[in-house]
């Protein structure tokens, strides 16, 4: 892709810091170097967020991507008008905000599937608010084999085979077929983002990558992927594979479970981290932090993750690979 891709960002839960970190990210003037950004959500909420942050940005409602101003001082936003800014309380969980988050995600998904936007980003949402609204099931399905969480912290990039599961369950879920499928999906995604010859490492589950799971499931899964022509190694001892990724031996590590990858990522770095959801038929990014209700309305929330998430999404959608 030679032109800057159109990246749509859902503003997140209106009661959280999503709108504020988005306004601060937009005000840097950096987003337009990587993409043509546009928002999905409530224009009134974004006007309020800009005021909280002391910014003089203009908010412009649009109904088509053809109306995007591509102006760093103007926040273009698709606003379906479904959200009542007077019907919720800031800094707390609200059913109305959960409903709005689900509606906006659906609207953004429809845009991406129709090809109107090239990639999407999700500002932080509240699962509690969505549960109150009865719409939590409309969030992306993160069951193993369906979708995968992909964390990015500079040179350390980790995709999780399983997520938010007890370790006892992880051992039973790991299978050769699941490992091979995840490796294949990861390899295809990396190529589509401009990495012509991906280098993938698969972490072992047990100390020194030595155990029943490695012998019976992980190693056969890796070998099956290798037979498909994929450049993948493993199982690699989990106490060293993340450092090897940081040192540029690999492009990505496939971790076996949530904390195996998260501990490595959050130890290596936190500010600026991104969370990519592998599963939708388009590039979908998020951030590695929540709604931070204690900071709402102060204008003090750190926007670094939001800024980097949108910039990296534009970079990947333009098939330029990861940042060096």
CATH of the domain at 210: 3.40.718.10
275 in any annotated domain: no
Q: Are residues 134 and 152 in the same domain?
A: no
Are residues 71 and 24 part of one domain? yes
Range 181-192 average pLDDT: 96
121-155 tens-digit pLDDT: 999 999 999 999 999 887 766 777 788 999 999 99
Q: Is 212 exposed, middle or buried (0-12, 13-18, 19+ CB in 10 A)?
A: exposed
Across residues 182-193, what is the average pLDDT?
Answer: 96
Q: Verify that 11 and 135 share a domain, yes or no.
A: yes
In DSSP terms, 62 is beta-bridged to 78
Domain span at residue 189 reads 148-268
273 located within any domain: no
322 assigned to some structural domain: no
Same domain (yes/no): 121, 11: yes
Distances (CA, A) of 145 to 30, 152, 225: 36, 20, 15
Predicted confidence (pLDDT) per residue in 85-114, tens digit: 998 999 999 999 999 999 999 999 999 999
The reply to whether 133 and 154 lie within a common domain is no
Statement to judge: residues 292 and 262 lie in one domain: no
Distance CA 63, CA 96 (A): 23
304 — pLDDT class (breaks 50, 70, 90): very high
Same domain, 157 and 248: yes
Looking at residue 218, its pLDDT comes to: 98
* Higher local confidence (pLDDT), 185 or 141: 185
Q: Is the pLDDT of residue 26 over 90?
A: yes
Q: How is residue 27 written in tokens? A: 């005000």
**Strand, coil or helix: 219:** helix
Asked whether residue 37 is domain-assigned, the answer is yes
pLDDT of residue 215: 98
For residue 2, is pLDDT > 60?
no
Q: What is the pLDDT of residue 324?
A: 76
Query: Is there a single domain that holds both residue 284 and residue 243?
Result: no
Can you tell me the distance from the alpha carbon of 140 to that of 286, in angstroms, rounded to the nearest whole number? Answer: 12
How much is the mean pLDDT over the chain?
94
Supply the pLDDT for residue 140. 66
DSSP state of 214: I
**Residues 111, 168 share a domain:** no
Residues 6 or more apart in contact with residue 112 via CB below 8 angstroms: 8, 118, 119, 120, 280, 282, 284
Asked if 18 and 128 sit in the same domain, the reply is yes
Cα-Cα end-to-end distance for the chain: 19
Give me the number of domains the chain comprises.
Answer: 2
User: How do residues 284-300 score in pLDDT, each as one tens digit?
Assistant: 999 988 999 999 999 99
Establish if 263 belongs to a structural domain: yes
* 15-25: pLDDT as tens digits: 999 999 999 99
Residues 170 and 93 in one domain: no
Cα angle for residues 311, 272, 282 (degrees, 5° grid) = 45
What whole-number percentage of the chain has pLDDT above 90?
A: 89
| Domain shared by 73 and 181, yes or no | no
pLDDT value, residue 137 = 80
């Amino acid at each position: 892709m030679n032109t800057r891709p159109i990246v749509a960002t859902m503003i997140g839960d209106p009661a959280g810091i999503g709108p504020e970190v988005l306004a601060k990210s937009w005000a840097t003037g950096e987003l337009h170097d990587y993409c043509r950004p546009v928002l999905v959500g409530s224009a009134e909420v974004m006007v309020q967020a800009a005021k909280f942050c002391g910014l003089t940005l203009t908010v412009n409602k649009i109904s088509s991507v053809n109306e995007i101003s591509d102006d760093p001082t103007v926040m273009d936003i698709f606003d379906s008008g479904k959200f009542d800014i007077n019907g919720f309380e800031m800094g707390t969980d609200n059913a109305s905000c959960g409903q709005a988050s689900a509606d906006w995600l659906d609207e953004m998904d429809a845009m991406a599937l129709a090809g109107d936007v090239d990639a999407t980003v999700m500002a932080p949402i509240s699962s509690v608010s969505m549960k109150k609204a009865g719409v939590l099931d409309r969030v992306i399905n993160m069951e193993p084999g369906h979708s995968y969480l992909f964390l990015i912290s500079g040179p350390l990039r980790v995709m999780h085979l399983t997520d938010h599961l007890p370790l006892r369950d992880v051992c039973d879920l790991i299978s050769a077929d699941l490992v091979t499928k995840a490796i294949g999906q990861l390899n295809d995604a990396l190529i589509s983002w401009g990495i012509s010859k991906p280098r993938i490492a698969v972490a072992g589950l047990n100390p020194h990558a030595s155990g029943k799971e490695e012998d019976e499931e992980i190693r056969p899964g890796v070998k099956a992927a290798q037979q498909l022509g994929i450049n993948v190694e493993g199982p690699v001892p989990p106490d060293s594979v993340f450092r090897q990724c940081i040192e540029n031996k690999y492009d990505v590590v496939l971790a076996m479970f949530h904390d195996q990858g998260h501990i490595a990522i959050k130890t290596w770095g936190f500010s600026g981290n991104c969370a990519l959801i592998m599963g939708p038929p388009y590039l979908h990014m998020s951030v590695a932090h929540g709604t931070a209700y204690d900071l709402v309305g102060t204008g003090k929330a750190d926007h670094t993750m939001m800024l980097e998430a949108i910039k990296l999404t534009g970079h990947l959608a333009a098939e330029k690979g990861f940042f060096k």
